Amino acid sequence: MPGGAEWLVILAIVVLVFGAAKLPELARGTGQALRIFKAETKGLRDDDSTPEKPAGELSESEPAEGEIVENNRDTNAG
């Protein structure tokens, strides 16, 4: 792990590459991306822990769209 002097050298290189004016914008963008990432991973963990029936899922008694349903025509064929 870099020590104090190494961090100063790394910071100096970053300032030279990006420029001092771009650093706040770069930090803001990085922070925003991390917040979004945390929120999405938390949402995925919450979805895994609470199993819910999806809105589009049908019960066993309802046929799915496009499903061929066999009717008992023999009972009325009489």
Longest Cα–Cα distance of the chain, Å, equals 95
Any domain includes 27: yes
Q: What is the mean pLDDT of the chain?
A: 77
Identify whether 36 is part of a domain.
yes
Whether 68 has a pLDDT exceeding 80, the answer reads no
Show Cβ contacts of residue 2 under 8 Å, excluding neighbours closer than 6 positions: 10
Enter the DSSP assignment of 25.
H
For 34, the domain range is: 22-50
Q: Is 14 exposed, middle or buried (0-12, 13-18, 19+ CB in 10 A)?
A: middle
Please state the domain count of the chain: 1
Return the pLDDT at 20. 85
Is 40 within the bounds of a domain?
Answer: yes
Q: Who has greater pLDDT, 1 or 9?
A: 9
- Does residue 16 belong to any structural domain of this protein? no
Residue 44 within any structural domain of the chain: yes
Q: What is the pLDDT of residues 34-49, one digit of tens each?
A: 999 999 998 888 877 7
Is 58 among the domain residues? Answer: no
Handedness of CA 35, 36, 39, 44 (dihedral sign): negative
Assess if residue 14 is contained within a domain. no
More confident residue, 19 or 56: 19
